[in-house]
Structure 1
């Protein structure tokens, strides 16, 4: 994840947190010839749902790849 790009939007139902949306940007790297090289950059959005006591990713979007 690219520092300082993450935003979180909590979702409530009757004042109870049940999910949140996480947005940000991330860089991609590839290991080639013994070193890590930056390969690309993109934005992402993740929908997290509370399932009992566990947070689970429900939907993941990665877009605007450069």
Structure 2
């Protein structure tokens, strides 16, 4: 009987250990160089946005762009830039700032990188500063060293 219980004990330990090993999460590490490169691209993108430099801003997106917005649905490249053209003509001086410490970058094998974070958009309306804090996910495509955004998910509005 003791031998039988010991055998069950050994089998259970083996099964438990195997299950734990099988469930172990393998996370791709983000090289510091990639993090720094995407952080620099984020800065370049929103420096252009804040300066209302449409040519520079637009050049940082692929033409097959898909922009998913929680309160606006799926938007195409054409619609996205029609909206930005109108926004850039507005006199409310909308600016974006990355929330410090919120940026995360994850490599995408043979494609580029995923960037996530939280950002704030600020503008003055009726003499009062309005601030909105939102979350985002951007997929950056690297084509021969040229970084462009191919997908955007803007949410938590």
TM-score, L = length of structure 1: 0.77
State which of 52, 55, 59 in structure 1 corresponds to 2:144.
Answer: 52
Quote how far apart the aligned CAs of 1:39 are: 2.2
2:105 is the counterpart of 1:12: no
Tell me, yes or no, if the aligned pair for 2:141 and 2:147 is still in contact at 8 Å: yes
Larger Rg over CA atoms: 2
Q: Hey, what's the Cα distance between the residues in 1 that align with 2:121 and 2:109?
A: 33
By relative contact order (CA 8 Å, sep 6+), the higher-ranking structure is 1
In the comparison of the two structures, how many residue pairs are matched?
59
Q: Which residue of 2 aligns with 1:40?
A: 132
In terms of fraction of residues, the more strand-rich structure is 1
CA shift for structure 1 position 54: 0.4
Residue ranges of structure 1 left out of the alignment (5+ in a row): none
Shift >2 Å, 4+ stretches: none
- Larger helix proportion, structure 1 or 2? 2
**CA RMSD of the aligned region, Å?**
1.5
Which residue is 2:100 aligned to? 3
Query: How far apart, in 2, do the equivalents of 1:12 and 1:60 lie?
Result: 18
Structure-2-length-normalised TM-score: 0.35
Q: 1:40 to 1:31 in 2, by over 3 A?
A: same
Secondary structure at the counterpart of residue 121 of structure 2: strand
